[in-house]
Amino acid sequence: MEKLQDSIYQLIVETSTNLPNDVRRAIKAAKEKENAGTRAALSLGTITENIEMADENISPICQDTGMPTFEVKVPVGVNQIKMKKAIHEAIARATKDAKLRPNSVDSLTGKNTGDNLGEGTPVIHFEQWEKDVIDVRLILKGGGCENKNIQYSLPTELEGLGRAGRDLDGIRKCIMHSVYQAQGQGCSAGFIGVGIGGDRTTSYSLAKEQLFRTVDDVNPNLELQKLEDYVLENANKLGIGTMGFGGEATLLGVKVGAMNRLPASFFVSVAYNCWAYRRLGVVLDQETGEIQEWLYKDGEKVDLNTTNEEVAATAEVQDEVREVVLQAPVTEEQIRELKVGDVVIINGMMHTGRDAIHHHLMDHDAPIDLNGQIIYHCGPVMAKDADDNWTVKAAGPTTSIREEPYQGDIMKKFGIRAVIGKGGMGPKTLKALEEHGGVYLNAIGGAAQYYADCIKEVKGVDLIDFGIPEAMWHLEVEGFAAIVTMDSHGNSLHADVDKSSLEKLAQFKEPVFK
């Protein structure tokens, strides 16, 4: 199968850079029902712009290209060892070409392999079937949404919903709670796959398998079909909204599967996927490995462009939003003037810092003077140009809550005035912002092309030994927009939305399914 590696490479590139039509339709529908001019509507506008930019640039939609997971069905007699080798070679090639971010890290040493290969990476599931073609499907599910996966063991007590028993209503409560607990940290509005039954491992696997179903697929099991319809309708009544900013669109799709279980165990597992629902497939000739058919591509590409009426409505409301331009580095006085809801446009320098950097800075000096500087929770996709200079290929925000144990202490220690990320942070950081004079800015999760376009030059890099995603990149930006969601006056939009959505969750406490 001499064409196999090229075919898998094409699948990887297309999955990373081009959303399928069923996902585009779901995002477009969410955009059309959102109230024009709200934070959620502005976010969806950025998201749709980013989708088009990624397609045009043939660059990753989101900088977190996740854990590549392949589902492969092969005829009897096809050499799976050779197929696995071809998939590995295609993964390494796509990583080298900056279509994937190097995401495979040794769990004990923390060392990044640099090519997305390593023990357990990528994930490949083989299954034999009686057809005479090879069916390969790929999902790229980022770490932010992966961290919002959740598993319940019934019976259990759920915040806001009370007891969830071993019945359809108990399952319903678990799924509703899973959407609530994700908030905006998984880049809502999102999609969920649900696995009922099995053991702890197979229940999670079943949940993830549901994400290979199309958004408009109808469940053949009538009870599960009713459950899917119920959750899709009512989860959007929680008011979590896009990026957790509040709004009408919280969930864009839900797919549920069930399997038998042991009498002693009753698991409900939920695989949460962000709006950047990167999932495609191909049918291959079993002799040559050439692509015969693309899966999840049904006709003309869905147009996500905003109508003139929507642009006018958004512009009208934007006039009422306070916009502040900051030239980095910034002062405490400038930060104290900002309030939740302000749109901040940043020019000047910012510096990336993720998990490894935050852990390092707790016990070491910073490689540069960070006084008055801005830290960006971002693990970019980087490449070198013809002159051997670093260029940014994708650079959206990562989930900030992982840095909650460190953030406040680091800001005080080094004089950092602003932090950019997604999904918000907790009470420890909020208290530090108030005491120190700092601010948290929420960028639009997944909008990796939109923000990469704001980065005008890579000024340098430190701690590259941590790997490309975890290094400290020094970036000069222009017109980098984000929203103040936690200010220096003790206000947090994330805490407000969490509280209001929990109150709304309580309305779904009573039984629904008889």
Is the entire prediction scored with pTM above 0.75?
A: yes
Q: Is the pLDDT of residue 308 over 50?
A: no
Kind and range of the H or E run holding 41: helix 39-57
The tens digit of pLDDT for each residue in 29-63 reads 999 988 888 888 889 999 999 999 999 999 999 99
- When mean pLDDT is compared across 248-262, 316-330, 458-472, the lowest value belongs to 316-330
The mean pLDDT value for 283-292 works out to: 96
- pLDDT mean over 429-456: 97
| pLDDT per position as a tens digit, 152-183 | 999 999 999 999 999 999 999 999 999 999 99
Report the distance separating Cα 8 and Cα 116, nearest Å.
15
Domains for the chain: give ranges and CATH numbers: 1-142+278-320 (no CATH), 143-275 (no CATH), 322-498 (3.20.130.10)
Q: pLDDT by residue (tens digit) across 221-239?
A: 999 999 999 999 999 999 9
CA angle 428/149/420 to nearest 5° reads 40
Radius of gyration of the chain (CA): 23
Q: CA-CA distances (angstroms) from residue 128 to 125, 133, 339?
A: 10, 11, 58
Exposed e or buried b per residue across 269-302, where buried means at least 16 C-beta atoms within 10 angstroms of its C-beta: bbbbbbbbbbbbbbbbbbeebebeeebbbeeeeb
Percent of the chain with pLDDT over 90: 92
| Average pLDDT over every residue of 469-482 | 98
- What pLDDT score does 305 carry? 78
- Convert the pLDDT of each residue in 192-225 to its tens digit: 999 999 999 999 999 999 999 999 999 999 999 9
Residue 317 has pLDDT above 90, yes or no: no
What pLDDT, in 10s, does the model give residues 140-156? Answer: 999 999 999 999 999 99
